Structure formats: structure tokens, C-alpha cells
């Protein structure tokens, strides 16, 4: 499931390969991923424009050109890859941006989100409006203030893109486990020391994950064991708990992350 580190990896793909390349055409294999733009408009408006420096905000990739910007969201199953000209299309390749020197393939099995076209900065702002600060750049003071404003459980609060942009289910569980905070604790019940600890663990987990382009499934990480039957805490060996919190499957250690 693409979260901030994965999208940061996709941004890197665009930055490394697509910048400066001229878009010759856009092949839309499935218009079901287009939001607010038709396949024809997408191709016409991007034709002959060159990709510029890409940006990421939360889970959004903003692929700028010297004309409109392409905003991509990867939902639950999306990905982005750079391939040589004329590369064979994969089954779930929905949109392929064909440039003068290679192709950018946007794939997504489930099509929950998709691609938008922004004509100018206002359009970009409109799509991103309402999102919280980006999890990778938020400062500790602002992070702490966000938590004190919410009474619901810390798990869904951190995963809510309107509170903080970029974290998903895996990252939130990993960060709470590192910080030894029970996922059902009300966000505003954390004391200043716990908020600082949570912020520090978020920084560490994001740094390591961004480096790998995903949340790494290392055996010393919760993410590395959470999918196993009868999974145990990598830190203390206690069998992990599993339940639905805020509508999402949540995994935690009942020993390390006691309810306060």
C-alpha cells in the first residue's frame, strides 16, 4: 500500500528519468483512473510539454511540466515506473506518458484514486486543500499541537490525511509500536514527553523508509512480522494483538503498548 515513502520513491523515478523529457503522447488504457479530465484532454494539454522538477505532498505526487501539472495518487495498489520506449504494457498499466526518451507507466489494480490535471498553481492548491502538514517536514511543535486538538484514538488521528499528510496504516502502527503508545489512546491524552517520543520515532521510521522507498519489512520492525500467523513482538516476544481501530486493521504489542 503506497504511503509517503513509496510516493517519495515515485517522485525519485520522475526526478531521475523524466525531467526535461518531452511528452509525445499519453496512452490511456483505462480512463477509469482519470479524475476531472478526459483521455483526450490529458493528451492534448500535455502534448509537447516537458517534465519539470516533481514534488510530493503527503501521498500525492505532483509531476510538473512547463505546461500543466499532473497530480497522481496511488490509492491502495498504485505504482509508477520508468521504462524504455516501446516497453510492453503490463496488465494494470492504466496510463502511459510516452516521452522522447522513455515512458512513465502509471499502474493501479484497484483504481481507488487516480490522475488529475492541474492547469495552474490554483488547481494544485485546490486538490491539496484541506490536507494537514506533510509528515516528513512537519516540526515537532506543530506535530504536538495537532495531537492536542483531537480526542479520538491516536491511530486514526495519525492516519487522517486532514490532520497529517503522508502516513498510512503500516507506518502509523510501526511508529506507535516504536513509541510504545497504545493505538486506542485518545490523541489528546499523550503527555508532552510521549508526544516528543512519538515525533522522534516518526522521524526515524520515515527516514529509514524513505531511503528504501517503502516501509521495510525488516524482522526487527513490526512491519516485518505483522503478516505472520501467531506473530510476536520483535522487542519482547509477546504475541501481538490485532483488531480494527478506526476501520483499519491494527497490530500492536499488548505488553509494550499498554493502555494507559
The nearest distance, CB 220 to Zn ion, in angstroms, is 12
- Name which of 212 and 228 has its Cβ closer to Zn ion: 228
The nearest distance, CB 172 to Zn ion, in angstroms, is 17
Q: List the x/- string, 194-233, binding to Zn ion by CB under 5 A.
A: ---------------------------------------x
- Name which of 36 and 254 has its Cβ closer to Zn ion: 254
- Active-site pick, 11, 21, 56, 59: 59
60-89 residues near Zn ion, rule: CB under 5 A: none
The nearest distance, CB 123 to Zn ion, in angstroms, is 46
Q: Which residues contact 72 (CB under 8 A, 6 or more apart)?
A: 10, 60, 61, 63, 78, 80, 106, 114, 115
176 binds Zn ion (CB under 5 A): no
- 16 annotated active-site: no
255 binds Zn ion (CB under 5 A): yes
- Name which of 205 and 256 has its Cβ closer to Zn ion: 256
- Name which of 93 and 174 has its Cβ closer to Zn ion: 174
The residue written with cell numbers 500492536 in the block is: 252
Report how far residue 166's alpha carbon sits from residue 158's, in angstroms, rounded to the nearest whole number. 9
The nearest distance, CB 252 to Zn ion, in angstroms, is 9
- Name which of 110 and 258 has its Cβ closer to Zn ion: 258
- 258 annotated active-site: no
Radius of gyration of the chain (CA): 20
253 binds Zn ion (CB under 5 A): yes
Task: By CB under 5 A, name the binding residues for Zn ion.
Answer: 233, 235-236, 238, 253, 255-256
Q: Which residues have a catalytic role annotated? A: 2-3, 59, 248
Amino acid at each position: 500500500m503506497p504511503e509517503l515513502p513509496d510516493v517519495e520513491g515515485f517522485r525519485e523515478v520522475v526526478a531521475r528519468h523524466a525531467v526535461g523529457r518531452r511528452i509525445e503522447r499519453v496512452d490511456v488504457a483505462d480512463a477509469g483512473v482519470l479524475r476531472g479530465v478526459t483521455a483526450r484532454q490529458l493528451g492534448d494539454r500535455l502534448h509537447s510539454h516537458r517534465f519539470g522538477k516533481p514534488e510530493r505532498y503527503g501521498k500525492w505526487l505532483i509531476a510538473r511540466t512547463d505546461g500543466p501539472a499532473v497530480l497522481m495518487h496511488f490509492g491502495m495498489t498504485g505504482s509508477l515506473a520508468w521504462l524504455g520506449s516501446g516497453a510492453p504494457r503490463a496488465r494494470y498499466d492504466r496510463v502511459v506518458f510516452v516521452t522522447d526518451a522513455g515512458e512513465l507507466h502509471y499502474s493501479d489494480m484497484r483504481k481507488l484514486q487516480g490522475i488529475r490535471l492541474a492547469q495552474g498553481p490554483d488547481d494544485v492548491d485546490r486538490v491539496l486543500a484541506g490536507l494537514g502538514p506533510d509528515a516528513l517536514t512537519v516540526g515537532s511543535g506543530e506535530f504536538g499541537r495537532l495531537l492536542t486538538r483531537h480526542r479520538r484514538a491516536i491511530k486514526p488521528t495519525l492516519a487522517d490525511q486532514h490532520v497529517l499528510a503522508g502516513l498510512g496504516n503500516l507506518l502509523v502502527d510501526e511508529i506507535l509500536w516504536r513509541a510504545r503508545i497504545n493505538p486506542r489512546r485518545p490523541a489528546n491524552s499523550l503527555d508532552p514527553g510521549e508526544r516528543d517520543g512519538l515525533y522522534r520515532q516518526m522521524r526515524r521510521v520515515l527516514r529509514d523508509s524513505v531511503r528504501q522507498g517503502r516501509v521495510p519489512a525488516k524482522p526487527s520492525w513490526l512491519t516485518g512480522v505483522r503478516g505472520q500467523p501467531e506473530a510476536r513482538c520483535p522487542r519482547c516476544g509477546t504475541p501481538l494483538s490485532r483488531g480494527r481501530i478506526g476501520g483499519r486493521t491494527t497490530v500492536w504489542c499488548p505488553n509494550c503498548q499498554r493502555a494507559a
